[in-house]
Chain A
Amino acid sequence: MKRCALALAAVLWAGSLFAQQGALEGKWWKRPVVARQLELTPEQTAQLEKIFARTKPHLIDLRAELEKKQFEYEQAMSSEKVDRKAIESLIEARENARAALQKQLALMELDMKQVLKPEQRERLMQMRENARRMMQQRRRRLREEGLEDEAPPRKQRRQR
């Protein structure tokens, strides 16, 4: 029962976090609340959408590639006979796939920033920073309030 209550708290907490943080992730330019706060014009929204549409096929391929590499790595790690060299190259392949995905996302972000005016860019960064801070505060609160009676203090756990 305690576990269920904890899970419920987690779901509620995650829900509210994602309502704040999630609004600034994914297709943020299509969310009415974000578009209004940034004062995006219909032209800007269309341009942002065009950049995403151009990037989308690459994202699909790169995500699939990364998931494939991650799967291969997990398979190799869980096999009876683990070949260190093979694992090394699988990790390298996986991280290369991840880097390619990061690069694509960064380039898309860069193109999108060109569409925004300096004050809109500033506002977006500020909104993201606020959401990040709020998440940190809530996580800290969860740790302080929720874990005090269940887990030993952090210092003790370190010593184990």
Chain B
Amino acid sequence: MDTTNDLPKHLDDATLFALATPAAGEPEALPGHLSRCSSCARALAEWKSAIRTLGEEELGAIGRRSPEAWRAAEDATMAAIRRASRRRGIVRPLRWAVGIAASLLILALAIPARRRERRPSPAASASQAEENALPVADRADDALLKDAEFLARGGDTLPDLVPEDSL
């Protein structure tokens, strides 16, 4: 399967990211390269895993995080990536994960700045947060349900995607 050496170019992170977030219930065109390159296929699986972890958080909740929560989220993201890598017996592909972790930190710094620029009233912020929030008691169940839905859709494997060449 691994014919990586004679393949011209690996898929970049942006392509992999776009492929890792297909619309629900719709087959996604898959570059033929993925069916021949195990390295890119693995990278796509890792992207899916990382996005799944990120997806368990809502944007509203991200904005309300404390520094401790940011560290915990970063650790969880890295752990998820490591888990995915270990499952496939790979130690190497953590290079792009560093980018994700760094991005989370940048985002943590950027949010207070954005808030200062917009200066929403405290009442409006609280109301917005309340709108998006899921009661704490339900978050574990919510994650379970989302995970089950993701797995049922075949999100953990590639065969749910239609190779581009076949279209």
Residues of A bordering B, CB below 8 Å: 3-4, 6-8, 10-12, 14-19, 21-23, 25-27, 30-33, 52, 56, 59-60, 62-63, 66-67, 70-71, 74, 78, 98, 101-102, 105, 128, 132, 135-136, 139, 142-143, 146-147, 150-151, 154, 157-158, 160
The answer on a CB contact under 8 Å between A158 and B59 is no
Known contacts A6-B99, A19-B59, A25-B146; is A11 also within 8 Å of B54 by CB? yes
Residues of B bordering A, CB below 8 Å: 8-9, 12-15, 17-18, 21-26, 31-33, 51, 54-55, 57-60, 62, 87-89, 95-96, 99-100, 102-104, 106-107, 130-135, 138, 141-149, 151-152, 154, 156-157, 164-165
Instruction: Select from chain B the residue with minimum beta-carbon distance to A134.
Output: B23
Known contacts A7-B96, A52-B141; is A21 also within 8 Å of B24 by CB? yes
Q: How far is the CA of A79 from the CA of B117 in the complex (A)?
A: 55
**Chain B residues, CB < 8 A from A18:** 54-55, 57-59
Q: How far is the CA of A71 from the CA of B130 in the complex (A)?
A: 39
Instruction: For residue B47, give the distance in angstroms from its CB to the closest CB of chain A.
Output: 9
**Chain B residues, CB < 8 A from A16:** 59
**Chain B residues, CB < 8 A from A160:** 8-9, 32-33
Instruction: For residue A10, give the distance in angstroms from its CB to the closest CB of chain B.
Output: 5
Q: How far is the CA of A29 from the CA of B104 in the complex (A)?
A: 29
**Chain B residues, CB < 8 A from A62:** 148
Instruction: Select from chain B the residue with minimum beta-carbon distance to A138.
Output: B21
Q: How far is the CA of A15 from the CA of B61 in the complex (A)?
A: 10
Known contacts A3-B13, A63-B148, A101-B151; is A157 also within 8 Å of B99 by CB? no
23 contacts between A and B (CB under 8 A): A4-B106, A7-B103, A8-B102, A11-B103, A12-B107, A14-B17, A15-B62, A16-B59, A18-B58, A23-B58, A26-B134, A31-B134, A32-B130, A32-B131, A56-B144, A71-B87, A98-B151, A128-B24, A135-B23, A147-B15, A151-B14, A157-B33, A160-B33
Q: How far is the CA of A142 from the CA of B148 in the complex (A)?
A: 28
**Chain A residues, CB < 8 A from B58:** 15, 18-19, 22-23
The answer on a CB contact under 8 Å between B144 and A158 is no
The answer on a CB contact under 8 Å between A146 and B148 is no
**Chain A residues, CB < 8 A from B134:** 26-27, 30-31
- Contacting B100 at CB < 8 Å: which of A7, A74, A128, A147? A7
Q: How far is the CA of A139 from the CA of B17 in the complex (A)?
A: 9
